[in-house]
Amino acid sequence: MANESTSSTLSELYTEIVAEAEFVIQEQSIMKNLVKNYTIAGGGKSVEVPIYSAISAAAVNEATDLSNTAVNPSSVTITASEVGVMTTLTDLARNSAPRNVAADIGRLFGEGIAKKMDQDLIALFDGFSVTLGDGTGAISAASIFNAASTLRAEGLPLNECFAVLHPKIAYDLKANLTNTFANPNAGDLQNEALRSGFVGQIAGISVFETSNMSNTGNAGDYKGGIFHKDALALAMMQDIKIETQRDASLRADEIVATAVYGVGELHDSYGVELHFDSSIQ
C-alpha cells in the first residue's frame, strides 16, 4: 500500500494519539480563537445564525406612546463538511521507532487539521467588500490605523478586533513601527497559541501572524485581514476524532483523523481585507 508509515495492537497508543491531536489543534489554530464559535447539534449539518440590524432610539415627548420598531433579522446559514487525514502504521515501524510514535502521529494530525481550519477561515478575508492595498506595496502602521477607522466608524470596539497577517507581511509592519506597541499581559490571550502568534497592539487592535495563509501567486503577496470577532464564524459539528482499523494481513493499523465543521461570513462591514506585498522574499 502506498504512503505507509513504514520502518501487538495500537490500543495502548490510541489514548495518547487522541490527547496529543486535541492539544495540538487547540494550540496551533489561531483563527478559531478569534471568530464567533457555534456548535451544530440536534440533527442536520447546518446552523442558521440570525443577523440583527442596528436599532436607533429617538427622543419622545412626555406622556406620548412610543412607536413600534420592527425587529426582523436576516440570517446566514453555515453548512459543515468533513476534513480528514489518514496514515498506515506498520507493526515494524511502531516497534522499532526510537521516538514516541503516538505523540508524533497525534501532533501531525492535529497540525494538519488546525492548518486546514485556519486556511478555510482566512480564505473568507477575500470576501470582505472593503480592501486596503492592491498587492504591490508594503504594509505600514498607517494601514492598520486606516482599517481601524473603518471598523470604528461601524461603532465596533477596537479591543474586540483583530488583525491577522502572514509573517512576511508582519515583518514590514514591525519594521515600520517606531516601537512594538506590545502588551505582553494582554488579558484576552488565553492560550499559548495566541501568545506565540501575537505581534502587538496597534490602535487598540491585537495583531497576530500565521503561516497558514496561501500566497496569491506572486512572491510575497498575501491577503490578510482585520476584523471584529463577530465578522466571521466557525460552526463545529464534530471536533477532531481519531479512529483505528487493524489490517492483519499487512501487519499494520490504519489511523484516521477527521473533523466536521463549516465557516462563514456573518457581517461583511465588520472586516477589512489587507492586501499587501512583502519587501522580503
Q: What is the mean pLDDT of residues 41-47?
A: 85
| Rounded Cα–Cα distance for residues 88 and 156 (Å) | 49
Of the two residues 53 and 76, the one the predictor is more confident about is 76
Residue 15 lies in a domain: yes
Return the exposure string of 211-227: e unless at least 16 CB atoms fall within 10 Å of the residue's CB, then b: ebbeeeeeebbbbbbbb
Query: Do both 145 and 174 map to the same domain?
Result: yes
Q: What is the mean pLDDT of residues 167-171?
A: 91
pLDDT of 75 > 80? The answer is: yes
Query: Do both 214 and 114 map to the same domain?
Result: no
Q: What is the mean pLDDT of residues 253-269?
A: 92
Query: Do both 81 and 206 map to the same domain?
Result: no
Q: What is the mean pLDDT of residues 212-235?
A: 91
Query: Do both 32 and 110 map to the same domain?
Result: yes
Q: Chain-wide mean pLDDT for the chain?
A: 82
Encoded amino acid at 207, one letter: V
Residue 157 lies in a domain: yes
The domain of 145 spans 129-232+267-277
Give the C-alpha distances (Å, rounded to integers) separating 229 from 77, 226, 261: 18, 10, 18
| Rounded Cα–Cα distance for residues 99 and 117 (Å) | 28
Q: What is the pLDDT of residue 198?
A: 63
Residue 65 lies in a domain: no
Domain count, the chain: 2
pLDDT of 149 > 60? The answer is: yes
- Predicted TM-score of the model (pTM): 0.81
pLDDT of 105 > 90? The answer is: no
**pLDDT band for position 27 (cuts 50, 70, 90):** low
Q: What is the mean pLDDT of residues 14-43?
A: 77
Q: What is the pLDDT of residue 8?
A: 43
- Beta strands 4-5 and 81-90, pairing class: parallel
pLDDT of 40 > 80? The answer is: yes
Query: Do both 175 and 272 map to the same domain?
Result: yes
Helix (H) or strand (E) holding 109: helix 101-122
| Dihedral angle sign, alpha carbons of residues 160, 178, 219, 196 | negative
Query: Do both 203 and 272 map to the same domain?
Result: yes
- Which residues are registered as beta bridge partners of 258? 84, 241
pLDDT of 179 > 80? The answer is: no
- Beta strands 46-51 and 252-265, pairing class: unpaired
Burial of 269 (0-12, 13-18, 19+ CB in 10 A): middle
Q: What is the pLDDT of residue 190?
A: 36
Query: Do both 152 and 272 map to the same domain?
Result: yes
pLDDT of 188 > 60? The answer is: no
